[in-house]
Amino acid sequence: MSDMRDLYQEVILDHNKKPRNCYAMDCATRTADGHNPLCGDIVKVYLRIEAGIIKEISFQGHGCAICTASTSLMTESVKGKSVAKAKELFEVFHEMLTGVAEEQGVELGKLQVFEGVREYPVRVKCATLAWHTLNAAMDGDDESVTTE
């Protein structure tokens, strides 16, 4: 049970209940769709990129608490950052979840709350679906992203 508190931290439960930046964006310059076929999680990421900077980001979709909270926190953490910086953040976030040596001096900040997910290999996809989708949107890749 205490393990469950490590996984479902307060910040995650809060973002699951009240996801931030959860709306369809009319003026998006880029969008991408992500899908986890195993559990049916679906996320659509909207971006407004100006001069290489993510000026606005939002999402819509449905998924488990890990997926929803991860998407919500992702939008908060990349907003106002450059595309290059967002990609770097994804790399470090991914490394934290998959257990590969982490450092590079990039601060994950609130995203650190997902550290517990690494103990649950089947749930890593839940935490990374939004990031893969963001990546596709930044790359201008129209193909739907799946975690399979």
Partner 1 sequence: MTLPTATAGVQALDIEKVRADFPALHQESHGHPLVYLDNAATTQKPRAVIDAVRTFYERDCSNVHRGVHLLSQRATVAFEQSRTAIKNHIGANDSREIVFTRSTTEGINLVAASFVRPRLEAGDEILISTMEHHSNIVPWQLLCEEKGAELKVIPINDKGEIILEEYEKLLSARTRIVGVVHVSNALGTINPVRQMIELAHSRGVPILLDGAQALPHLQVDVQELDCDFFVCSAHKAYGPTGIGALYGKREHLLEMVPYQGGGDMILSVSFDGTTYNEPPHRFEAGTPNIEGAIGFAEALRYLDEIGLESVAAHEADLLATATEAVTEVPGVRLVGSARDKASVLSFVIDGIHPHDIGTILDSEGIAVRAGHHCAQPVMARYGVSATVRASFGLYNTHQEIAALVAGLKQVKEVFA
- C-alpha distances in Å from residue 24, one per residue of 21, 28, 56, 133: 9, 9, 11, 15
Q: How far is the CB of 101 from partner 1 (least distance, A)?
A: 26
Q: Which stretch binds partner 1 (CB under 8 A): 25-33, 38-46, 78-86, 96-104?
A: 38-46
Quick check: 120 binds partner 1 (CB under 8 A)?
yes
- DSSP tag of 21: T
Quick check: 18 binds partner 1 (CB under 8 A)?
no
Name, in order, each residue with C-beta under 8 angstroms of 117's C-beta and a sequence gap of 6 or more.
Answer: 7, 66, 97, 123, 124, 126, 127
- Angstrom distance (rounded) from CA 70 to CA 140: 21
- Cβ-contact 11, 115 below 8 angstroms: no
- DSSP tag of 145: E
Q: How far is the CB of 65 from partner 1 (least distance, A)?
A: 5
Q: How far is the CB of 126 from partner 1 (least distance, A)?
A: 7
Chain-centre distance of CA 74, in angstroms? 4
- The residues in 39-68 that bind partner 1, with binding defined as CB under 8 A, are 39-42, 62-68
The binder of partner 1 chosen from 15, 30, 44, 123 (CB under 8 A): 123
| DSSP alpha helix (H) spans, 1-123 | 2-7, 10-17, 65-78, 83-98
Quick check: 14 binds partner 1 (CB under 8 A)?
no
Quick check: 22 binds partner 1 (CB under 8 A)?
no
Q: Which stretch binds partner 1 (CB under 8 A): 48-56, 89-97, 99-107, 119-127?
A: 119-127
Contacts to partner 1 by CB under 8 A:
1, 3-5, 7-8, 13, 38-42, 62-68, 120, 123, 126
